[in-house]
A and B are shown apart, each in its own frame.
Chain A
Amino acid sequence: MENSGVSISINDFVHNLEKPSKKWYLGVGVLTVIALFGMYALLRQFMEGQIITGMRDNVVWGIYTANFVFFMGLSYAGALISSISQLLRIKWTKPIVRIAELLTVSTLIVGAPFILFCLGRLDRIHYLLLYGRIQSPITWDVIAISTDLVFCIAFLYFTHIRDFAKLRDYPGLNVSNWRKKMYRYLALGYKGTKEQKKYLHQAHDIMAAIIIPTAIIAYSLLSLLFSMSLRPGWHSTIFSPYFVVTAGYSGVALLIVIMWIYRKNRKLETYITNLHFKYMSFALIMLTLIYGYFTFSEYLTDWYNQTETYHQLLHKLYDMNQFGWLSLFHFVFAFVVPIIVIGFPWFRSINMVTIVSLLIVIALWVKRYLIVVPTLETPYIPIQDIRPEYVHYSISWVEWALSISGIAVIVLIFTIASKWAPIIPVSEVADAHNLEKPKLLFKVRNDSTIKSQEDVVV
């Protein structure tokens, strides 16, 4: 394995954790201003109501819901990659698992509130807990996402404990005293004894095992918000696996982009190698094909057996004066371009794969928008108010401001988190060649104890 031969030390990362540069402060400042502008937009919405958004009586969900589904999907992919890596003791993923975990937590923190912005009376949010019906998919979602968030934050912390211990013990670490105290407190007295290693591995394994089903359930429940309704384009039995695959697809694509940024910015070519991009590209092309298969199945069944309302929806999706350009953009950059660039070796390079990944991320955001808005513009009961703003959704500045500030917050979390601890999990990469074998769910009989063929059958 490429990384197993690389010697890694906390020394290589300490200079990045010590006193931040002016450029870093400037970056954090700009991101904070963007985030605060989003807060201002939210405050305006809270004070003036949803009339200042593009949402109206018919199109009651818009860009907020698209963002919610999009960010939740990104979080799911990160959780899956880091958990599977931990459980199966995959060595090559070790340098990128922290990026995946940070992607999970940051997108969860930013994505989850977006569904709340759709509420007309945000001041009554606690009613959801007081009077929420357990039969409602929204209640399932609130429970699942909050559980997922707690688990993912815990998992992120577990993977940091050994690095915190290294930083605590690092002589002459040039950081403030309160940070040193925090490292000491968060390291939980970890000294690397055999007993402590065992406990940490157990905790890690348990969390990894529970995060995988939690993330899948959470994202499947998210799809039920749509598919439990009878609306055209939403009422589909394959929506749950379709959502899960889409989530994995967008998450892997964004992970490649973030890997590229850190590799260039922090000069981590030694740790985030060509091999990582190669493997991630394979994952991406597989997901492209699976995603294409699901999308084809979804639209084929809608098109083949269409009723009047389905016909209207499909017409909207392919009419160039309505959503046709967005549909074309999605089709080209989520299917055609990835297959050409990654599928054929002539175009395949790290930079090209990264650019394609970025385009996939954008195309999959567009897809979420195409799931939400055209369907709401095509209700079964005809729209009775002919005002165009009641029929057609258009994104207001408030929605743009909150969306952009959401992205800024994710970048801010990455910026601050990678200043707190190495973006490469130093301890895990160092121990990659000493990894225990993955735990099995069943015992395999030793070959020497097998006496006859009957034993094997039994």
Chain B
Amino acid sequence: MLSYKESTFNKLISVAVLIIIATVISIMTADAGTKAKKERVRMKMYYSKNDAGERVISIGLTAGSGRKMHGLKNAPVLLETVFNDSTTLLATVETDSSGLVDLYLAQDYKLPVNEDGVAIIMAAYEGDDTYRSASRKLEIVDLELDFNFEIEDSVKYLKVSAGKIDGEGNKLPVEGLEIDIGIQRLYSVLPIGSVETEKDGTGILEVQDDLPGDAKGMLTFVANIEDHDEFGTVTKTATEKWGIPVSYEVKPLPRQLYTDEAPLWMIALVVVTLAGAWYHFFLSVSKLIKLRKAGQERL
């Protein structure tokens, strides 16, 4: 039979062993839990071509579940083009703090395309211990937009033509394409209508003749296709003297609290207050000068 002390010792050893086992199990479970809670990653990919002909591939990575999605920052994304079952590396890019990254294609770089002019771009994120992998595929055809300004019977017609480039570089008219038309203003584009292209790839919009332009009457027209399944986002601009010349001379602003020059009453108030204060300061200093002189006279 065990003595009291031995019994207590054995109990303590048993408890210690149980604690160690529980700790190991909890650590393992926690590790397993972490692995099981790998977050899902969503990838979005856009293609856009601006007025200067710059082509941009934009990637957005978000992670999380349900409504609690957040931008996946500093994530490496592999971008490749696919042509005839072979892939060519475009670039490896890294997302910013919001999970976004843009790849600007060089002006002289030609994406490999098939005979229909379709370029295939693949983006892939491999994932890591915390996040799952994600990938996206984009098929893009190069589209060119052109403007033509015509006046018939004093009516102004804006003709916009759309043509897609095939594998041999030929421009083929696109039918049934909806193009938004607007005028560039200081901060944004003012929409004035939209056109749908005909068989010859051209859409016509009648432009009203009372649109205010710059000092010379120039208007900058903007044609835009937004996130099209085949062409992505394409923008084209052109300038024409179709507006009413408006002189934007800035009139001098009055003296107010919100303008550069202060109201006169305020200047007067500040000057009088400061003059009063500093007058008394110098009056006080003059007394000290007299005090010093009085001391010198006494000597």
Residues of A within 8 A of B (CB): 133-135, 140, 143, 147, 150-151, 154, 158, 161, 188-191, 193, 195-196, 199-200, 202-203, 206-207, 209-210, 213-214, 217, 386-387
Contact = CB atoms under 8 A, between A and B. Distances in A.
Contacts of A217: 273
A199 B97 contact: no
Contacts of B291: 161, 188-190, 196, 199-200, 203
B290 interface: yes
Given A143-B274, A206-B284, 7 more contacts: A135-B258, A151-B277, A188-B292, A189-B294, A191-B295, A202-B287, A217-B273
Contacts of A150: 281
B287 A203 contact: yes
A189 B295 contact: yes
Pick from A140, A150, A195, A217 the residue with the most CB of B within 10 Å: A195
18 contacts: A133-B262, A134-B270, A135-B258, A135-B262, A143-B274, A150-B281, A151-B277, A158-B288, A188-B291, A189-B295, A191-B295, A196-B291, A199-B288, A199-B291, A200-B291, A203-B284, A203-B288, A206-B287
B287 A200 contact: yes
Contact of B97 (A158, A200, A209, A387): A387
Interface of B: 70, 97, 257-258, 260, 262-263, 266-267, 270, 273-274, 277-278, 280-281, 283-285, 287-288, 290-292, 294-296, 298-299
Contact of A193 (B267, B278, B294): B294
Contacts of A214: 277
Pick from B283, B284, B292, B298 the residue with the most CB of A within 10 Å: B284
Contacts of B274: 143, 147
B287 A210 contact: no
A150 B284 CA distance: 13
A133 B267 contact: no
Nearest to A150: B281
Contacts of A143: 270, 274
Contacts of B290: 199
Q: Which 3 A-B pairs have the closest CB atoms?
A: A189-B295, A203-B287, A199-B291
Pick from A143, A161, A206, A213 the residue with the most CB of B within 10 Å: A206
Given A135-B257, A150-B281, A206-B280, A188 B287 contact: no
Main secondary structure of the interface of B (DSSP, over half): helix
Contacts of B266: 134-135
A196 B295 contact: yes
Contact of B283 (A140, A151, A188, A206): A206
B298 A210 contact: no
Nearest to B292: A188
A255 B266 CA distance: 37
A133 B281 contact: no
A284 to B, nearest CB: 30
Nearest to B257: A135
Contacts of B283: 206
B262 A134 contact: yes
A199 B292 CA distance: 10
A72 B232 CA distance: 60
